[in-house]
Amino acid sequence: MAFIEASAVSKSFGTGPSARHVLHDVTLEVERGEFVSIVGFMGCGKSTLLNIITGLVPADAGEVRLGGDLVRGISQGAAIVFQNYSLLPWFSALENVRLAVAAAFPAWPRGRQADHARRYLEKIGLGSALHRRPSQLSGGMRQRVAIARAFATEPTILFLDEPFGALDALTRANLQQDLAQLCSSAERQVTTIMITNSVEEALLLSDRIVPMTRAPRATLGRPVGVAMARPRTAAQLLHDEDAVRVRTHVVESLTASVHRAPRLPPLIKSEASDASDTPLIAVPDRTEA
């Protein structure tokens, strides 16, 4: 039995003819200690799936189990890193992390919580910015605080929802390496599911990559393992034969899902179409000008 199991998960928003069918019959298995990335186009339902797996959002059909137990709400020992930092603006970086440590280890005295928070901020390269508030930090530094906060709780499960999506390329590359080091050097075995639309990011960090088809009724394609040794570099990914194989599989799977996507009705009615077809949408005649 896998550590995390999502079985036949489906999800829609709205009811009746206007319902938006996002996920259909999604099944995923993640082994303990494994780093799995789900890769897909923007808007295909990746974040919705992650929210269901974490317990933030209920599925319409199917179920999610963690260690054999049915998931009902956020599991103890799980940490989530979102795209938008989610830091409290009136607290310093140190206090933002300490509050998470206090929630995870309420029996610890405040001084020990602060020391523990400081250690993880230093690991992520923010030892000189401990007492700055989020408004005094760059976007990359805020995301470092969010990552330090997640790891400071010493989670057994880590959920990452496009954690670097809003960052510039250089900051993103640096944080990817920081995350890889934290995952490999964690005191406890961390099982990780990451949502991303970057194949290269998934290649850099993952043990296994799962492509996701386009919405509506998105589902997961055939996963592919990444057998490359760690640490990995972006330069290595360009020429390594296994990286080329994995990249090709993921890109072809994503491309195939586009070709299989349902065709939308035409926006402009052709002269040969029947009167019962899609209503005509007026298009201004620009030749008159």
Residue 152's pLDDT is 92
**Rounded Cα–Cα distance for residues 218 and 131 (Å):** 44
Q: What percent of the chain has pLDDT over 90?
A: 54
Q: Which residue has the tokens 């640490």?
A: 231
Residue 92's pLDDT is 96
Domains and CATH numbers, the chain: 4-77+155-260 (3.40.50.300)
Instruction: Give pLDDT tens digits for 187-214.
Output: 667 899 999 989 999 999 999 999 999 8
Q: Which residues of 153-182 are buried (b: 16+ CB within 10 A; e: fewer)?
A: bbbbbbbbbbbbbebeeebbbebbebbbeb
- Looking at this protein, which amino acid is placed at residue 12? S
Residue 283's pLDDT is 39
What does the pLDDT average to over 59-73?
91
Q: Is the pLDDT of residue 276 over 90?
A: no
Long-range contact pairs involving 282-289 (C-beta distance under 8 Å, separation at least 24): none
Q: State the number of CA atoms in the 13 A half-sphere of 170 facing the CB.
A: 0
Residue 174's pLDDT is 82
Which tokens in the block code for residue 263? Answer: 């065709």
**Rounded Cα–Cα distance for residues 183 and 199 (Å):** 19
Strands (E), 40-149: 61-66, 69-70, 78-81
